[in-house]
Amino acid sequence: MAKTAAQAGSGRVTVLPDARVSPRYAGLVTFGRYPRLEDVAPENRPVDWVIYGAPFDCGVTYRPGARFGPRAVRVESQYLKRYSIAHGVDVCAAMSLADGGDAPARPYSCEGSMKAQVEFARGLGDKTSRLLAIGGDHSIAYGNLRATWERLGGPARGLALLHFDSHLDTVDVVWGDKWGHASPFRRAIEDGIVDPRRMVSVGIKGPLNTPTDLEFARDHGVTLLTYDDIRRGGTGAIERFVRALGDAPAYVTFDIDVVDPAFAPGTGTPSVGGFTSAEALDLVRACRGVEVVGADVVEVLPDRDVSGITALLAAHVAFEVLCLDAARRTGVGRRVRRGAGRG
């Protein structure tokens, strides 16, 4: 049977449990009910995306607890369905997805944990698998960025970075430590993993410790789109940034605290006056057409959550990131980008 454009994808698929046999509330919990990595059938290898947990939160400057984030996000992801109306794509028909378990954590050491995560992520799945990490605090972004960059052969120019956050996360050192959650993008830029001129930080808001916090981003050519910029001007600026990237490999990092705590209370450094849940999904959808090669969704703190709404939103944000790649692989993303007229 000939495949339609919307079914083409990578040629591999994600086999989900039959919900008539094992309902969504039953069975062992994996992200999105995707198969465990070791259970993926040979015909669905190489796996296109491995989703894994990074249960580490010793890099926080304020309230801890995000180490329980991966488990909470997996639980809330049981009700993720496979077909996206917004993108017109069946993610599980377009790509082979799997849950790779959790990276090892070294709770007494930010640097030690980062190294253990990198080692784990390096060997995860197949050589061409893309990696989506569920945090954990934002320090875990560095390890996943490094592993993603290495898998692509360590491109000299570095990766483009689409960063959604209330905070800049480019502080040099906090309490003598270079590897905490305020510093991952400073380190990634220093190490040539991220190209700051192709990095955008979206949703920045709230009072800063000092105005000099903005200097690193500005001195290195990072594009800043504050919450107010988006509120006033819409997501067009994100779309233009993404269009300018062309086919450049890009990494998406989504700190759930970019969302207003009224919608995402379960986080450790909440910042009031932010996006709604619906707007959060729109932020990711504005990246349609981007060549997404890796991602993370971080800073979910279940003990401060209410009815699991933050973890549920994080699961859906992760799904939206997978949709970006599924849409691109099936050609849906390109059609949308070029405007109407191509069916």
Residues in contact with Mn ion by CB under 5 A are 138, 165-167, 169, 255, 257
Closest separation between CB of residue 141 and Mn ion, Å? 8
Of 134, 103, 98, 107, nearest to 116 by C-alpha is: 103
- Closest to Mn ion by CB, 13 vs 297, is 297
- Closest to Mn ion by CB, 62 vs 83, is 62
- Closest to Mn ion by CB, 35 vs 70, is 70
Closest separation between CB of residue 137 and Mn ion, Å? 8
Of 69, 61, 71, nearest to 29 by C-alpha is: 71
d(CA 89, CA 326): 7
- Closest to Mn ion by CB, 167 vs 328, is 167
Closest separation between CB of residue 181 and Mn ion, Å? 6
Closest separation between CB of residue 58 and Mn ion, Å? 15
d(CA 278, CA 281): 5
- Closest to Mn ion by CB, 205 vs 316, is 205
- Closest to Mn ion by CB, 76 vs 255, is 255
- Closest to Mn ion by CB, 149 vs 254, is 254
Closest separation between CB of residue 299 and Mn ion, Å? 6
Joined tokens for residue 50: 């491995």
Closest separation between CB of residue 258 and Mn ion, Å? 7
Closest separation between CB of residue 7 and Mn ion, Å? 37
